[in-house]
Structure 1
Amino acid sequence: MATLIVIGILSSVFIFGLKTGIGCGFSKTGWKAVGVLCLLYFVIALVAGYFMDAIDVTSFMSSPLAAAIHITLALFLLAGGIVTMKKWHAGCDVSNKTFLILVFPCPVCMAALLVSCVALSTVVDLSGIAIGALVGIVFVISILVTTFVMKNLSKITAKLHINFSGTPDTLGAVMVFIGLFYLVAAIMIPAYINASTARSSIPSSFGTPELIVLAGVAALIVFGAALTAAADRSREKASKTE
């Protein structure tokens, strides 16, 4: 059971690294810059592991400050994504600037690393630095793998006989999608934590908070699919007019 818990926590760390990897993959960022980002995130993970016992993560995640951070990041991502798509259709590529919103360390990612360190400390008997190093390694692997896949996505899809090429338009759509996710998270996370705290001692396998989370995730998936389809149609129309 402990092994499964560790795998689950590290899998969530890997998923959080996808945001940075996607931003690097769909932009023109070189591998040297990606390496610097990986080193930066690894150091942040080490710091999170060292200070994990000094911060009350649950109280912070349910506080108005956490919600304000989520909303601010969401607005930046939404604005950056829309600008990226509009400028690309106008013949200007600004992805080498707007992608920074995705890849730079944000309070949400740092909180995710801290939460992961705290969760791992409950199931493994390691020092804080060692736990931080483990989390950092998984996060770095996620960035490197995602960046490689995104940079070679057109080649991969070509082998599968799928016509796809990652453009700044795609990056903009991804930024909008992640921005919406952060916006929904700003509402759901504090509500879920408060609901879990106020829940009675009688165990419940599935309740209203779980339904809210699932509904939000489903809505984001549907919107993301629709947004991607709209971007593809827009590219097709633009190519036909040329």
Structure 2
Amino acid sequence: MEPMATLIVIGILSSVFIFGLKTGVGCGFSKTGWKIVFALCLLYFAIALVAGYFMDAIDVTSFMSSPLAAAIHITLALFLLAGGIATMKKWHAGCDVSNKTFLIMVFPCPVCMAALLVSCVALSTVVELDGILIGALVGVVFVLSILITTYVMKNLSKIAKKLHINFDGTPDTLGAIMVFIGLFYLIAAIMIPAYISAGATRSTIPSSFGTAELTVLAGICLLVLFGAILTVSADKSREKTVKKSKTDYED
């Protein structure tokens, strides 16, 4: 394989890895067990295989620019916003509902499925493999992303403690991340159809991983990071308030 083709494959698989972070974060910040995580991994692997097999028969561009795709985006965004707010409110009230609301984060959404399908199509232009094998490769990378992210998120408080950082990966954090991803989905529901329509006259494969897509991926990471930072700040403020209340009560 030529060096340029190798770089293209690495870039595509890196994009697949990034799209798996959403599911990993949802599993990591919830109280769900590893059995459910592995079940989700099998589900996404199966979807990747199907995407590889049918990649030549499905027109992703037409679907993503259709009103139905926008409606699905908006619906998912509203579910994320409602679920995130409910997770935070219930947690502050002493109730953990993350084992239910995390499903909104990890359930296969049109964005993830389209990303898997587009990745399979893009890989087929640079590697000479059967569609099933391409789907398996994409599925393995996506599954690795879920497993690694889930493990890191579940042990984030321990890692933060070793780094002398005060951070607890509570369902409150999950709720904040859900809210920010929900806001991103609302923006995407408006931008993606317009972007696809504007680029309809260009070749879809070379433009699938251009500057616009890298900007979108960077936006996801920034939104998640911003939500985590806000949650940490809120946790510190609550701790100070609780400590002050205890001190005033003792006095």
**Secondary structure, in 3 states, of the residue corresponding to 1:161?**
coil
Amino acid at match of 2:172: D
Indicate the residue corresponding to 2:62 in structure 1: 59
TM-superposition CA deviations, 1:184-209 (whole Å, max 9, x none):
1111111111222368xxxxxxxxx9
Summarize the alignment of residues 209-228 of structure 1 with structure 2, pairs less than 5 Å apart: 217=219, 220=223, 224=227, 227-228=230-231
Question: Do the aligned residues in 1 keep the contact of 2:51 with 2:135 (CA within 8 Å)?
Answer: yes
Summarize the alignment of residues 58-97 of structure 1 with structure 2, pairs less than 5 Å apart: 58-97=61-100
Query: Could you tell me the percent identity over the aligned residues?
Result: 82
**Distance of 1:165 and 1:217 partners within structure 2:** 24
Indicate the residue corresponding to 2:49 in structure 1: 46
Q: TM-score, normalised by structure 2?
A: 0.84
Summarize the alignment of residues 88-107 of structure 1 with structure 2, pairs less than 5 Å apart: 88-107=91-110
State the shift of 1:227 in Å: 3.6
**Distance of 2:110 and 2:49 partners within structure 1:** 15
Q: Does 1:115 align with 2:106?
A: no
State the shift of 1:237 in Å: 5.0
TM-superposition CA deviations, 1:60-116 (whole Å, max 9, x none):
111111111111110000000000001111111111110111112222211111111
Amino acid at match of 1:93: D
Unaligned runs of 5+ in 1: 200-208
TM-superposition CA deviations, 1:125-158 (whole Å, max 9, x none):
1111000000000000000000000000011111
Q: Equivalent of 1:156, from 155, 159, 169?
A: 159
**Distance of 1:91 and 1:115 partners within structure 2:** 43
**Distance of 1:226 and 1:33 partners within structure 2:** 28
**Distance of 1:235 and 1:133 partners within structure 2:** 46
Summarize the alignment of residues 3-18 of structure 1 with structure 2, pairs less than 5 Å apart: 3-18=6-21
Alpha-carbon distance change, 163 to 233 in structure 1, aligned in 2, over 3 angstroms: closer
**Distance of 1:237 and 1:97 partners within structure 2:** 30
**Distance of 2:77 and 2:111 partners within structure 1:** 11
State the shift of 1:217 in Å: 3.1
Indicate the residue corresponding to 2:136 in structure 1: 133
Name the Cα RMSD after superposition.
2.3
Q: Judge which range, 148-157 or 58-67, deviates more.
A: 58-67
Q: Equivalent of 1:177, from 172, 180, 185?
A: 180
Alpha-carbon distance change, 141 to 223 in structure 1, aligned in 2, over 3 angstroms: closer
**Secondary structure, in 3 states, of the residue corresponding to 1:99?**
helix
Indicate the residue corresponding to 1:202 in structure 2: none
Paired residues in the alignment total 230
Question: Do the aligned residues in 2 keep the contact of 1:84 with 1:95 (CA within 8 Å)?
Answer: yes
**Distance of 1:88 and 1:154 partners within structure 2:** 17
